[in-house]
Amino acid sequence: MTAATARAHPNIALVKYWGKRDLRLNLPAVPSLSVTLDRFETVTTVIRGTGQDRVVIDDAEAVGRARTRVLRILDLMDPARPPCHVISRNNFPAAAGLASSSSAFAALVLAADVAADQCRSPEQLSVLARRGSGSACRSLWGGFVEWSVGRLRDGSDSHGHPIADPGHWDLRIVVAVVSDARKPVGSTEGMIRTQETSPLFPAFVDQAPARVARARQAILDRDLAALGEEMERSTWEMHATMLTAWPTIRYQQPGTLACLDAVVALRGRGISAWATMDAGPNVKVLCAAADADEVAAALRPHAPRVEVLGIGRDPTVELHR
């Protein structure tokens, strides 16, 4: 038997990924741009040559779709593979809009690649991670990462690529965990429903390339106000497509709205704090490191858990003999 363990961090999209141009290959309808988070991580071990396939996620045996998604990636990576055990743990809530699948599939492909001694490039691993979860293709790197839509029909040019390393900018991401319950509508289901029924979705797609370009430049210029504006506009445009889908999709809870109001109040006091949400009720606030404690204090009355995170580094992987 051979085994490898990988550690990967989740990322949050600053310019949003929402919608697919190819469901089977998990190709995006829009480009996106993200920041990798520190402290939050998925640790995944892949053991090759076991008696039968087994997938354990957060100490529970995976069944159904969760198990199938993992084994499908192993099959894509090595069609002739032996039976494998996969053991994966998150130190943050899964399925609550905190991008747990991004770190999960990034760690999975890294561990599987090293355990099988396949030596793929980060770009090739990003393509494979994307097949498990779109956002996972951005967790193969730390810092700021862009995901290109790509043009090839097989999707081989749709992967992440880094645009600035973790040391480029001393920012913090303050995460208000309003709820860690499983979200009522999964991301893939929500994307399909939105694409098929929201009259606002075509406009969301049309503006995405220019928004990514402006956000990329704001990162390179270290211009927080410019980046924050692009992030918030992308966030609300994405959620507008959800609200105008049918049946409508709404992830916000009362605590969500209170946190968003607190961010607006912070800006009214001169603090450059900018909010985003993904497919879930939790709020992430981008701010300068010097303002993080004040931002966290403003959010704590409205969320049972508030975390202050820095910018995460590249994932790591270790081979066990």
**Model confidence over 48-76: pLDDT tens digits?**
999 999 999 999 999 999 999 999 999 99
pLDDT at 53: 98
pLDDT at 39: 92
Most confident of 138-142, 180-184, 185-189: 138-142
Where are the CATH 3.30.230.10 domain residues in the chain? 2-165
Which residues have C-beta within 8 Å of that of residue 278, sequence separation ≥ 6? 12, 13, 16, 97, 98, 99, 284
Q: What's the average model confidence in pLDDT over 12-31?
A: 97
Which residues have C-beta within 8 Å of that of residue 320, sequence separation ≥ 6? 2, 3, 4, 5, 45
Which residues have C-beta within 8 Å of that of residue 257, sequence separation ≥ 6? none
Least confident of 4-8, 98-102, 200-204: 98-102
Q: pTM of the full predicted structure? A: 0.95
Do 96 and 181 form a contact (C-beta atoms < 8 A)?
A: yes
- Type of residue at 246: W
Do 74 and 81 form a contact (C-beta atoms < 8 A)?
A: yes
Block residue for tokens 């905190």: 98
pLDDT at 93: 65
Do 178 and 256 form a contact (C-beta atoms < 8 A)?
A: yes
pLDDT tier at 15, thresholds 50, 70, 90: very high
pLDDT at 321: 78
Query: According to DSSP H, which parts of the chain are helical?
Result: 64-77, 100-115, 122-132, 187-197, 201-221, 224-243, 254-268, 292-299
The two tokens of residue 199 are 């009259």
Quick: pLDDT tens for 214-259. 999 999 999 999 999 999 999 999 999 999 999 999 999 999 999 9
Q: What's the average model confidence in pLDDT over 14-19?
A: 98
SS3 content of the chain, % helix, strand, coil (to 5): 40, 25, 35
Query: Quick one: which of 250, 18, 284 has its CA closest to 171?
Result: 284
pLDDT at 132: 97
First and final C-alpha spacing in the chain: 8
pLDDT at 100: 83
Angle at 214 between CA 211 and CA 216, to 5 degrees: 105
Q: Which residues of 185-204 are buried (b: 16+ CB within 10 A; e: fewer)?
A: bebeebbebbbeebebbeeb
- Type of residue at 126: S
pLDDT tier at 95, thresholds 50, 70, 90: very low
**Does position 96 have pLDDT exceeding 70, yes or no?**
no
Quick: pLDDT tens for 275-317. 999 999 999 999 999 999 999 999 999 999 999 999 999 999 9
* Cα 144 from Cα 36, distance rounded (Å): 6
* Cα 293 from Cα 298, distance rounded (Å): 9
pLDDT at 226: 99
Pick the CATH number of 171-309 from 2.102.10.10, 3.30.70.890, 3.30.70.120, 1.10.10.10: 3.30.70.890
Quick: pLDDT tens for 74-88. 999 999 999 999 999
pLDDT at 98: 65
Helix (H, G, I), strand (E, B) or coil at 146: strand
* Cα 272 from Cα 98, distance rounded (Å): 22
Where are the CATH 3.30.70.890 domain residues in the chain? 171-309
Quick: pLDDT tens for 122-181. 999 999 999 999 999 999 999 999 999 999 999 999 999 999 999 999 999 999 999 988
Cα Rg of the chain, angstroms? 19
2-165 topology per CATH: Ribosomal Protein S5; domain 2 (3.30.230)
